C-alpha cells in the first residue's frame, strides 16, 4: 500500500466519523444562532414574523437610542436586566455559601461515607427539574409547609407571603443548582494541601487570616468554576421565576418568552436574547483571562 | 484553643446535616403528602389514601369532580409516550454522533480540531432559552411544522455535546500501548478499532447514552419553545399543570417520576463504581 492511498483512507475514515455530526451541528446549532442574530436586526412584522428591513431600534428600545418614530425607549427593560443580574449574582453567592462548608466536611469523611455523601448530592441532579421546583411551591405558599412550621413555632402569628418574591426565586434556584456548585468546589477542596494550612498556623496566623490568605485562594479555581456554571443558567432562567415568582417578579427569561409566545414580537425577543448571550460571553471572556493568568501564577502558588 | 476547634468541628458537622436536610426534606415531604387524603389543602394531613395514584392510573374517578385535574389519564399517558419516543430517538442519534466525533478527535490530528472542541462545548455553555428561541425561529422560518420531529432535532443539537464529553473523557483515560501492540501484531486498523478501541470505550458510550436519555426526558426549556401546541412531553405537561393551579394528583405523579429517575441514576452510578 502506498503512503498516499493510506493517507486517503485515513481521510475517508475521518470524513465518515466527523461528517454526519458536522452537518448536523451546522444545520441545527450554528444556523439557528446566526439566523437569530440576523433576526434581532429586522423590523417586527405586523402579525408576528419579521420584515427584511435593517432595524436597530430593537436594541434602541432596550438601550436608549430608539428612533422615536418607530419604537419607544423604555427603561423598564434595563431594570429587568439589572434585576435578573442581581438575582443571578445573589443565587451564585447563596449557592456558594451553602456548598462551601459542606464540601470541607465531606472531604474529611472516611472514604466510604464520602462516596455515599457524593452519591446523595448528585442524585437529585438526575430527578426532574420541574418536579424539584414544584415541591417548593407546596413549601412556600401561604398554606404551605414553611408557614405551618413558622406559625406552630410562634415565629409569626399569621401566615406570611413567601412565594412570588425574589427570595422564593433565589431559594428555588439554589435548590436546583446545588450539584453544579458543589462538585467543582469539592474538587478544589479535595486537592487542598493541608500542610500549607498547618504551616500558616505555625507561623502565627489566626483562623481568619489562614482562611483568607491560604485556604480561600487555593480553592478559588473551584469557586470560580462553580460560580460560572451556576450564573449562566440563572441569568436567562424563565422556569424558576414562572413557577415561584408568579407574575410579580419578572426576569429576562420571562420577558423573552412573552415576546415569543405572547406579544409575538420575535425580533425584539431575539434582541433580548442577544443581551443574555452578550452577558454570558463577557463572563466567559473574563474566566478565560483568569485561567490564563492563573497558569502564569501557578509556579508561585506551588 | 482546643475547645474552640471542637466547636468548629461540631458546627461544621451540624451544618452538613442541615445541608442534607435542605436537599432531601422537600423530597420526603412530597412523597409523604402524595398519600394525603385532603383534596383542598395538600399540606393539611387528613388521612392516608391511595386515591391519587388510582386516579393517575385511571382506576378511580369518584373523588369530588372539582378536585379532578387530569382531564383524562389519556393526556398524561400521551405526554409520557411522547417523552419516551423523543428520548429513544435523541439518545440513539446523539450517542452515534457524539461517539463518532469523540473518536475522530481522539484518533486524528487535523486542521480545525480546536474549532471542533469549542463547537462541542458551546451548547453546554449556551443559556437554554437562547438556543430554544433560535431553534424556534429556525424551524418556523424553514416552514417545518412543530412537533415530535422538531423536538428530536432540537434536543440532539445539545445532547451530542454531552455524549461527546463523556466518551472523550473515557478515551483520554485509555491505554494507548494496547493499540500499538495490536498494530504490531499485524491487525489492520478496522480490527484494532473493533477489538481494542471500541470495547474500551464502551462504558463511556453507555454512560453518555444514559446521560442523554435522562436529560432528554427532563428537558423543559428548549422543548417548550419547539414543541408546538399539540405535542406535550411530560415536563411540559407538569409545567402546564403548575401554571393552571396545583391539584393533588401532581404529588403522586411527582413521586413516581422521582422514583423512576432515582432508580435509573442509582443503576448508572452503581455500574460506574463497579467498573472502577
Domain ranges of chain A: 1-34, 76-264
How far is A170 from A175, CA to CA, in rounded Å?
8
CA distance B6 to chain A (A): 13
Please check the confidence at residue A22 and state whether its pLDDT lies above 50.
Answer: yes
Q: Are strands A50-54 and A42-44 parallel, antiparallel or unpaired?
A: antiparallel
All structural domains of chain B with their residue ranges: 2-67, 73-246
Where does A76-264 sit in CATH, by number? Answer: 1.10.3720.10
Taking an 8 Å cut-off on Cβ atoms, the answer to whether B242 and A243 are in contact is yes
Distance CA A233, CA B87 (A): 22
Cα-flanking dihedrals φ and ψ of residue B186, to 5°? 95, 10
Beta strands in B39-78 (DSSP E): none
Using 50, 70 and 90 to split pLDDT, how confident is the model at B72? low
Residue A262 has pLDDT above 60, yes or no: yes
Q: A24: which chain B residues are within 8 Å (Cβ-Cβ)?
A: 97, 156-157, 160
Inter-chain residue contact B30 with A138, CB threshold 8 Å: yes
ipTM of the shown complex = 0.88
The pLDDT of residue B133 is: 94
Of the candidates A117, A128, A266, which has its C-beta nearest B235's C-beta?
A128
- Reported as a single tens digit per residue, the pLDDT across A142-167 is 888 888 888 888 888 888 888 888 99
Task: Check A143 against B20: CB less than 8 A apart.
Answer: no
Fold of B73-246: MetI-like fold (1.10.3720)
B108 contacts A138? CB cut-off 8 A: no
**Residue A186 pLDDT greater than 60, yes or no:** yes
Q: What is the pLDDT of residues B182-204, one digit of tens each?
A: 888 888 877 888 888 888 888 88
How many Å apart are CA A66 and CA A72, to the nearest integer?
6
Determine the average pLDDT of the residues in B80-92.
Answer: 95
Q: What is the pLDDT of residue B42?
A: 65
Q: How confident is the model at residue A96 (pLDDT cuts 50, 70, 90)?
A: very high
* Cell numbers representing residue B241 in the block: 399543570
pLDDT (0 to 100) of residue A142: 81
Q: Pick from A29, A104, A260: which is nearest to B133 by CB?
A: A260
- Please check the confidence at residue A300 and state whether its pLDDT lies above 50: no
Mutate to test the interface with A, among B133, B163, B213, B224 (most CBs of A within 10 A): B133
- Among B26, B136, B219, the residue to mutate for chain A (most A Cβ within 10 A): B26
Average pLDDT of chain A to the nearest whole number? 87
**What local confidence, expressed as pLDDT, does residue B187 receive?**
82
CA distance A167 to A145: 16
Which of A14, A121, A124 has the CB atom closest to B110's CB atom?
A: A14
Name the closest residue on chain B to residue A233, using Cα atoms. B127
Query: Are B101 and A236 inside 8 Å of each other by CB?
Result: no
Residues of chain B positioned with their CB less than 8 A from the CB of A132? 26-27
In chain A, alpha helices (H): 3-25, 31-39, 57-63, 76-107, 111-122, 129-140, 145-152, 166-191, 194-202, 207-210, 216-235, 239-240, 252-257, 266-301
pLDDT in tens, A61-95: 888 887 777 777 888 899 999 999 999 999 999 99
Distance from CA of B119 to the nearest CA of A (A): 8
Cβ of B43 within 8 Å of Cβ of A144? The answer is: yes
Return the exposure string of A222-250: e unless at least 16 CB atoms fall within 10 Å of the residue's CB, then b. bbbbbbbbbbbbbbbbbbbbbbbbbeebb
Inter-chain touch B129–A13, beta carbons under 8 Å? no
**Closest Cβ opposite residue A127 in set B13, B42, B258:** B258
Q: Which residues of A are less than 8 Å from B250 in CB distance? A: 134
Using CA atoms, how far apart are residues A120 and B13, in angstroms rounded to an integer?
A: 16
Q: Which residue of A has its CA nearest to B193?
A: A13
What's the pTM? 0.88
* Set of chain B residues whose Cβ sits within 8 Å of the Cβ of A104: 12
Residues 6+ apart with CB under 8 A from B269: A119, A122
Specify the pLDDT at position A299: 44
State the pLDDT confidence band at B275, using cuts at 50, 70 and 90: low
Mean pLDDT of B218-245: 88
CB contact under 8 A, B269 and A121: no
Pairs of residues, one from chain A and one from chain B, whose beta carbons lie less than 8 Å apart: 214
The pLDDT value recorded for residue B71 is: 60
Residues in chain B closer than 8 A to A260 (CB atoms):
133, 136, 225
Q: What is the mean pLDDT of residues A34-57?
A: 86
Is residue B210 packed enough to be buried (19+ CB in 10 Å), middle (13-18) or exposed (0-12)? buried
Q: Cβ contact (<8 Å) for A28 and B130?
A: no
- pLDDT of residue B155 exceeding 60: yes
DSSP state of A302: -
Amino acid at each position: 500500500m502506498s503512503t498516499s492511498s493510506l493517507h486517503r483512507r485515513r481521510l475517508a475514515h475521518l470524513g465518515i466519523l466527523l461528517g454526519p455530526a458536522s452537518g448536523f451541528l451546522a444545520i441545527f446549532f450554528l444556523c439557528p444562532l446566526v439566523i437569530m442574530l440576523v433576526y434581532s436586526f429586522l423590523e417586527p412584522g405586523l402579525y408576528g414574523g419579521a420584515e427584511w428591513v435593517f432595524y436597530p431600534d430593537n436594541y434602541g428600545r432596550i438601550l436608549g437610542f430608539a428612533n422615536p418614530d418607530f419604537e419607544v425607549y423604555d427603561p423598564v427593560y434595563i431594570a429587568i436586566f439589572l434585576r435578573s443580574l442581581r438575582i443571578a449574582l445573589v443565587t451564585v453567592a447563596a449557592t456558594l455559601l451553602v456548598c462551601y462548608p459542606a464540601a470541607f466536611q465531606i472531604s474529611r469523611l472516611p472514604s466510604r461515607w464520602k462516596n455515599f455523601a457524593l452519591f446523595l448530592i448528585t442524585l437529585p441532579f438526575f430527578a426532574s427539574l420541574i418536579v424539584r421546583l414544584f415541591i417548593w411551591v407546596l413549601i412556600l405558599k401561604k398554606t404551605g409547609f414553611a408557614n405551618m412550621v413558622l406559625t406552630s413555632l410562634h415565629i409569626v402569628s399569621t401566615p406570611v407571603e413567601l412565594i412570588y418574591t425574589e427570595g422564593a426565586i433565589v431559594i428555588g434556584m439554589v435548590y436546583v443548582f446545588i450539584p453544579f456548585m458543589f462538585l467543582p468546589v469539592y474538587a478544589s477542596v479535595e486537592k487542598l494541601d493541608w500542610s500549607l494550612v498547618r504551616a500558616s498556623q505555625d507561623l502565627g496566623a489566626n483562623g481568619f487570616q489562614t482562611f483568607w490568605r491560604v485556604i480561600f485562594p487555593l480553592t478559588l479555581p473551584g469557586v470560580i468554576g462553580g460560580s460560572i456554571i451556576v450564573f449562566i443558567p440563572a441569568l436567562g432562567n424563565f422556569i424558576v421565576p414562572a413557577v415561584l415568582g408568579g407574575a410579580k417578579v419578572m426576569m429576562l427569561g420571562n420577558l423573552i418568552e412573552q415576546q415569543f409566545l405572547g406579544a409575538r414580537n420575535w425580533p425584539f425577543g431575539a434582541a433580548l436574547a442577544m443581551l443574555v448571550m452578550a452577558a454570558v460571553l463577557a463572563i466567559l471572556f473574563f474566566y478565560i483571562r483568569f485561567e490564563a493568568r492563573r497558569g502564569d501564577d501557578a509556579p508561585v502558588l506551588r | 484553643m482546643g475547645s474552640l476547634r471542637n466547636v468548629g468541628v461540631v458546627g461544621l458537622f451540624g451544618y452538613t446535616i442541615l445541608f442534607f436536610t435542605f436537599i432531601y426534606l422537600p423530597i420526603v415531604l412530597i412523597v409523604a403528602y402524595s398519600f394525603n387524603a385532603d383534596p383542598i389543602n395538600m399540606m393539611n394531613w387528613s388521612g392516608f389514601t391511595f386515591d391519587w395514584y388510582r386516579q393517575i392510573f385511571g382506576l378511580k374517578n369518584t373523588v369530588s369532580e372539582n378536585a379532578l385535574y387530569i382531564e383524562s389519564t389519556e393526556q398524561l399517558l400521551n405526554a409520557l409516550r411522547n417523552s419516551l419516543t423523543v428520548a429513544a430517538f435523541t439518545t440513539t442519534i446523539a450517542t452515534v454522533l457524539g461517539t463518532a466525533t469523540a473518536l475522530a478527535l481522539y484518533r486524528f490530528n487535523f486542521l480545525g480540531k480546536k474549532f471542533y472542541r469549542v463547537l462541542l462545548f458551546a451548547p453546554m455553555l449556551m443559556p437554554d432559552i437562547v438556543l430554544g428561541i433560535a431553534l424556534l425561529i429556525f424551524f418556523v422560518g424553514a416552514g417545518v411544522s412543530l412537533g415530535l420531529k422538531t423536538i428530536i432535532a432540537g434536543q440532539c443539537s445539545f445532547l451530542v455535546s454531552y455524549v461527546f464529553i463523556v466518551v472523550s473523557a473515557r478515551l483520554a483515560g485509555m491505554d494507548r500501548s494496547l493499540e500499538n501492540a495490536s498494530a504490531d501484531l499485524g491487525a489492520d486498523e478496522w480490527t484494532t478499532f473493533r477489538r481494542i478501541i471500541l470495547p474500551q470505550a464502551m462504558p463511556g458510550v453507555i454512560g453518555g447514552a444514559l446521560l442523554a436519555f435522562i436529560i432528554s426526558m427532563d428537558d423543559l426549556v428548549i422543548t417548550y419553545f419547539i414543541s408546538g401546541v399539540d405535542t406535550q412531553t411530560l415536563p411540559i405537561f407538569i409545567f402546564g399543570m403548575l401554571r393552571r393551579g396545583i391539584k393533588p394528583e401532581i404529588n403522586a405523579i411527582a413521586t413516581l417520576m422521582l422514583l423512576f429517575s432515582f432508580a435509573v441514576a442509582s443503576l448508572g452510578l452503581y455500574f460506574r463504581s463497579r467498573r472502577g
